C-alpha cells in the first residue's frame, strides 16, 4: 500500500499493469507469516476482501498486519492489537506509514479497554498463542465482529496443550469454536512452514455461507 517501504526486509517485485502503471508487490514470506502459509496450503477462502475492516489480535511486529493492510487497501481498516511493548514499537512504526492500520497496545483479553477505538469489523484474525484463545476470540467477536463475519484463528498445538498430540488439540479447538457460535469452514495445517500449527477459518453467527474472497 505504501510504495517503496519495506517492513521486515522482504523483497519486492515491480510489475507493469496493462495500462502502463507500475505496481509494486511485496513478497510475502510464509515462514514469517502464518496467513501466507495458510494461503500456500490451499485454504479455500481466507475471508478478507479489499475494503474490509479487520481486527487482528496478536499483531506482533506487524509483518502479517502489513500484508493484510495491503489486502484491505485504503478503504479498509486494520485494528492491530498487540500487548508486548517491544513488538508494539515496531508495530507503531509500521502504522505510522500506513494510515489504515490502527495500533492498539492492549491486552486482547479485555476488549473493553479498546472498545472505544474499534468499530464493527468484518473479520477477526487471532494469532495469540494462549490456551484459552478461543475464549478471547469469542469475547472480542461478541463486541466487534458483525453477524456473518469471518474469523481466522491460528492454533499452535504445543502452546494450547503441550502434552496432547496435535490432532487431538485441533479437534478440541474446533469443538470449542462450535460452542461459541463460530462455524469453522476450513482448516489448513501449516506444514511445511510451521510444525504443529493449524489455521482455522470460519464464520460467525452465520446463516448463509458464501465465498468472500479468493
Partner 1 sequence: MLVLFETPAGFALFKVLDEGKLSNVEDLWKDFATSESARQVVKLKAFNKFENTTEALSAATLLIDSKPSKGLRKFLRTHCDGETLAVADSKLGNAIKEKLKIDCLHNNAVMELMRGLRNQLTELISGLATQDLAPMSLGLSHSLSRYKLKFSPDKVDTMIIQAIGLLDDLDKELNTYAMRVREWYGWHFPELAKIVQDNIQYAKTVKLMGDRVNAADLDFSEVLAEEIEAELKEAAVISMGTEISDLDLANIRCLCDQVLALSEYRAQLYDYLRSRMNTIAPNLTALVGELVGARLIAHGGSLLNLAKQPGSTVQILGAEKALFRALKTKHATPKYGLIFHASLIGQAAPKLKGKISRSLAAKTALAIRYDALGENTDSSMGLENRAKLEARLRVLEGRELGRSAGSAKGKPKIEVYDKDRKKGAGALITPAKTYNTSADLLLGPATTPEQDGALSRKRKHEEVETESAKETTDASVEEDGKKEKKKKKKSKIEETNDNDATVEAAEPEKKKKKKKIEGSSAEFVNNDETTVPENDEEPSTKEKKKKKRKNAETEEPSVNVEEQETETKSKKKEKKKKEKKGGE
Neighbours of 30 (CB within 10 A): 18
Tell me the closest approach of the beta carbon of residue 138 to partner 1, in angstroms: 12
The DSSP result for 63-99, as a single string, is HHHHHHHHHHTTTSEEEEE---HHHHHHHHHHHHH-T
- Minimum distance of partner 1 from residue 196's CB (angstroms): 29
**Helices 85-97 and 63-72: angle between axes, nearest 10 degrees:** 30
Q: Rounded distance, CA 52 to CA 41, Å? A: 23
Task: Give whichever of 91 and 152 is closer to partner 1, judged by the CB atom.
Answer: 91
With binding defined as CB under 8 A, does residue 8 bind partner 1?
Answer: no
Closer CB to partner 1, residue 89 or residue 159? 89
Task: For cell 499483531, name the residue.
Answer: 59
Give the distance from CA 119 to its chain's centroid: 17
- Residue identified by cell 502503471 is 21
Residues 96, 98, 99, 100, CA torsion sign: negative
Kindly state the helix (H) or strand (E) to which residue 22 belongs, with its residue range: strand 22-26
Q: Does 180 contact partner 1 by CB under 8 A?
A: no
Nearer to partner 1, 25 or 178 (CB): 178
Nearer to partner 1, 43 or 101 (CB): 101
Window 86-115: residues binding partner 1 (CB under 8 A):
88-89, 92, 95-96, 99, 102-106, 112-113, 115
66 CB-near residues (< 8 Å, 6+ apart)? 7, 8, 26, 94, 98, 101
- Under the binding rule (CB under 8 A), the answer on residue 50 touching partner 1 is no
Contact status: 77 vs partner 1 (CB under 8 A): yes
Shortest gap between Cβ of 104 and partner 1 (angstroms)? 6
* Chain residues 114-153 in contact with partner 1, contact rule CB under 8 A: 115-120, 142-144, 146-147
Least Cα distance to 87 among 63, 67, 70, 66 occurs for 63
95 vs 152, which CB is nearer to partner 1?
Answer: 95
**Min separation Cβ 61 and partner 1, Å:** 14
Collapsing DSSP to helix, strand or coil, 12 comes out as strand
Q: Which one of the spans 13-21, 82-90, 168-176, 189-197 is the region binding partner 1 (CB under 8 A)? A: 82-90
| Least distance CB 99 / partner 1 (angstroms) | 6
Q: List residues near partner 1 by CB under 8 A.
A: 77, 85, 88-89, 92, 95-96, 99, 102-106, 112-113, 115-120, 142-144, 146-147, 205
Amino acid at each position: 500500500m505504501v510504495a517503496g517501504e519495506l517492513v521486515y526486509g522482504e523483497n519486492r517485485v515491480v510489475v507493469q499493469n496493462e495500462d502502463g502503471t507500475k505496481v509494486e508487490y511485496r513478497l510475502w514470506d510464509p515462514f514469517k507469516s502464518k496467513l501466507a502459509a495458510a494461503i500456500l496450503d490451499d485454504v479455500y477462502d481466507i475471508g478478507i476482501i479489499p475494503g474490509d475492516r479487520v481486527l487482528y489480535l496478536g499483531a506482533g511486529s506487524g509483518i502479517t498486519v502489513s500484508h493484510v493492510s495491503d489486502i484491505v487497501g485504503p478503504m479498509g481498516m486494520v485494528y492491530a492489537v498487540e500487548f508486548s511493548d517491544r513488538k508494539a514499537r515496531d508495530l507503531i512504526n509500521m502504522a505510522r506509514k500506513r494510515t489504515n492500520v490502527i495500533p492498539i497496545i492492549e491486552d486482547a483479553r479485555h476488549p473493553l479497554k479498546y472498545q472505544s477505538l474499534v468499530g464493527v469489523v468484518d473479520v477477526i484474525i487471532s494469532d495469540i498463542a494462549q490456551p484459552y484463545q478461543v475464549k478471547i476470540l469469542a469475547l472480542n467477536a461478541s463486541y466487534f465482529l458483525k453477524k456473518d463475519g469471518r474469523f481466522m484463528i491460528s492454533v499452535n498445538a504445543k502452546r494450547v496443550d503441550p502434552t496432547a498430540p496435535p490432532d487431538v488439540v485441533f479437534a478440541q479447538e474446533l469443538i470449542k469454536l462450535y460452542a461459541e457460535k463460530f462455524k469453522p469452514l476450513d482448516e489448513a495445517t501449516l506444514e511445511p512452514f510451521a510444525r504443529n500449527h493449524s489455521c482455522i477459518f470460519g464464520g460467525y453467527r452465520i446463516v448463509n455461507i458464501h465465498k468472500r474472497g479468493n
